[in-house]
């Protein structure tokens, strides 16, 4: 047929009643664009003329445009005539229209779907389902942690099996590439903290404690925490998306059939890289935080460079730095582990990749905060 009609197409439906036989003449264009209109017209006509007719002829001779949707519609009209005794036939079909009708596979339309879409369940069922899913998620998590620990220990015992090129690659991705943003955020944090504490402390003339406060907070809490959150956003998501895409492309299956353990092959280098590089990144964040405070201290608080450094050094103990690094390593393991685990959970398609990438970041940040609280309590007693 020629071009699709662009405008609401023109059609005309006329009818003639003779010897209890209704003939409906279709003329003009009938297609998907004016489907609702002409089906409505035909139905109205049939209802109006329903009285004593024994047969209906649908005459196609005047049709200039016809498509498969229109063909389906007139078949539906025929099948839905309420009175089954009425003989409903299509007449004057030319070759083209006959061909269009032949495209429609009546059996296929009538077939039931092989997979039912579940209707929305009641609230109780939904709660139950969610709990079940959470439970399964938890079990998955534990299984994954076990497998990861096994794979990590295997790698430590057999260092040759480690793909060191990958480790370096991910150290660059997670660490080096993150330097600018981590540095910037840390400086700003230091600035803000120094400034805010200065506003409070100057009221009691305790400006001299600003350096202590900034360095204490930075090294003990904010440095590891901010770094971890940034790494979760930058690298945790990247790990999940990368592994998820590999699952979708059957690459993980290919790895398995080649006899590789996907966890050892894909997850271990990422986790190790993160655990190595995040503590370094944290140290760097601590330094930049102190530096941010220093800017405010020297320019706004009449403290000299020396006093500021000395005050900071007095506050920070080696113990604090070491625990800060340990914390960072634990956060890194959480971020990379969760990122990889979420990636492996992807089953099908791009949508899943997006879903689990988001989930990787959210769960990682949540777990970081939980772990941080545990550390806070533990360190309190260790001291």
Least distance between other proteins and beta carbon 284 (Å): 28
Q: In this complex, which beta carbon is closest to other proteins, that of residue 35 or of residue 255?
A: 255
Least distance between other proteins and beta carbon 259 (Å): 4
* 250 contacts 347 by C-beta, under 8 angstroms: no
Q: In this complex, which beta carbon is closest to other proteins, that of residue 104 or of residue 201?
A: 104
Of 84, 85, 107, 112, the one binding other proteins by CB under 8 A: 107
Least distance between other proteins and beta carbon 5 (Å): 28
Least distance between other proteins and beta carbon 356 (Å): 18
Range 233-262, binding other proteins (CB under 8 A): 242, 245-246, 249-251, 253-260
Distance CA 21, CA 13 (A): 16
Q: In this complex, which beta carbon is closest to other proteins, that of residue 169 or of residue 216?
A: 169
Q: In this complex, which beta carbon is closest to other proteins, that of residue 104 or of residue 298?
A: 104
113 to 132: interface string for other proteins, x by CB under 8 A: -xx-----------------
Least distance between other proteins and beta carbon 106 (Å): 5
Q: How close are the terminal C-alpha atoms of the chain, in Å? A: 86
Of 14, 54, 89, 106, the one binding other proteins by CB under 8 A: 106
Q: In this complex, which beta carbon is closest to other proteins, that of residue 99 or of residue 253?
A: 253
Instruction: Give the DSSP letter of residue 250.
Output: T
Q: Does 83 bind other proteins (CB under 8 A)?
A: no
Least distance between other proteins and beta carbon 349 (Å): 13
Least distance between other proteins and beta carbon 260 (Å): 7
Q: In this complex, which beta carbon is closest to other proteins, that of residue 117 or of residue 204?
A: 117
Helix, strand or coil, per DSSP, at residue 18: strand
The number of residues that bind other proteins (CB under 8 A) is 18
282 to 301: interface string for other proteins, x by CB under 8 A: --------------------
Least distance between other proteins and beta carbon 212 (Å): 47
Distance CA 209, CA 213 (A): 6
* Chain residues that interact with other proteins, rule: CB under 8 A: 106-107, 114-115, 242, 245-246, 249-251, 253-260
């Amino acid at each position: 047929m020629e071009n699709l009609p662009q405008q609401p197409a023109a059609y005309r439906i006329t009818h003639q009643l003779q010897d209890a036989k209704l003939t409906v003449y279709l003329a003009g264009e009938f297609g998907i664009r004016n489907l609702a209109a002409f089906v409505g017209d035909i139905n109205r006509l049939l209802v109006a003329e329903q009285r004593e007719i024994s047969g209906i002829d649908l005459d196609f001779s005047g049709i200039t445009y016809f498509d498969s949707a229109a063909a389906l519609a007139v078949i539906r009209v025929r099948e839905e005539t309420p009175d089954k005794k009425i003989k409903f036939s299509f007449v004057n079909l030319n070759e083209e229209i006959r061909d269009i009708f032949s495209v429609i596979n009546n059996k296929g339309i009538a077939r039931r779907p092989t997979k039912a879409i579940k209707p929305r369940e009641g609230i109780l069922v939904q709660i139950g389902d969610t709990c079940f899913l959470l439970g399964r998620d938890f079990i998955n998590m534990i299984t994954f942690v076990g497998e990861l620990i096994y794979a990590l220990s295997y790698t430590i015992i057999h260092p040759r099996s480690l793909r060191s090129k990958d480790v370096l690659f991910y150290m660059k991705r997670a660490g080096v590439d993150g330097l600018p943003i981590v540095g910037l955020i840390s400086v700003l944090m230091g600035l803000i903290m120094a400034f805010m504490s200065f506003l409070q402390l100057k009221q009691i003339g305790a400006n001299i404690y600003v350096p202590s406060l900034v360095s204490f907070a930075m090294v003990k809490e904010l440095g590891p925490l901010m770094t971890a959150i940034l790494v979760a956003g930058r690298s945790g998501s990247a790990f999940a998306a990368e592994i998820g895409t590999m699952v979708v492309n059957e690459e993980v299956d290919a790895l398995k059939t080649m006899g590789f353990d996907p966890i050892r092959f894909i997850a271990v280098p990422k986790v190790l890289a993160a655990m190595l590089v995040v503590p370094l990144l944290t140290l760097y964040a601590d330094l930049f935080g102190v530096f941010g405070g220093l800017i405010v201290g020297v320019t706004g608080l009449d403290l000299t460079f020396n006093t500021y450094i000395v005050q900071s050094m007095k506050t920070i103990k080696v113990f604090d730095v070491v625990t800060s690094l340990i914390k960072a390593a634990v956060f890194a393991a959480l971020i990379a582990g969760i990122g990889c685990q979420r990636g492996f959970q992807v089953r099908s398609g791009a949508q899943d990749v997006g879903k689990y990438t988001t989930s990787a970041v959210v769960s990682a940040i949540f777990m970081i905060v939980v772990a941080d609280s545990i550390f806070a309590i533990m360190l309190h007693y260790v001291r």
